[in-house]
Amino acid sequence: MRNVWLIAGKEFRSYLTSPMAYIVTFIFLVLSGVFFVLYLTLGNYNDTSIRGFVDPLAVFGVPAPGNVLLLVFGIVLTMRTMAEEKKLGTWELLLTSPVRDVEIVTGKYLGSMGIMLGMLVLTLYYPLLIIGYGDPDIGPIWTSYLGLLLLGSTVVSVGIFGSSLTSNQIIAAVVSGAILFGLWLFGWIAGNAPSAIQKVLSYLSISSHFAGFEIGVIDTRDIIYFLSMTVLFLYLSVRSIESSRWS
Among residues 134, 132, 129, 81, the alpha carbon closest in space to that of 109 is found at: 81
Is 109 a residue whose pLDDT tops 90?
yes
Is 191 a residue whose pLDDT tops 60?
yes
Give the residue with greater pLDDT, 67 vs 160. 160
pTM of the model as a whole: 0.90
Q: What is the mean pLDDT of residues 75-104?
A: 84
Is 34 a residue whose pLDDT tops 90?
no
Q: What is the mean pLDDT of residues 65-87?
A: 85
Give the H or E element holding residue 38.
Answer: helix 19-41
For residue 180, give the amino acid letter: L
CA gap 22, 26 in Å, rounded: 6
Is 115 a residue whose pLDDT tops 80?
yes
Is 80 a residue whose pLDDT tops 70?
yes
Q: How many residues does the chain have?
A: 247
Neighbour tally for 137: CB within 10 Å: 11
Distant-in-sequence contacts of 49-54, Cβ < 8 A, 24+ apart: 49/130, 49/136, 49/137, 49/140, 49/141, 50/126, 50/127, 50/130, 50/136, 50/141, 50/144, 51/144, 51/214, 53/123, 53/126, 54/144, 54/147, 54/148, 54/214
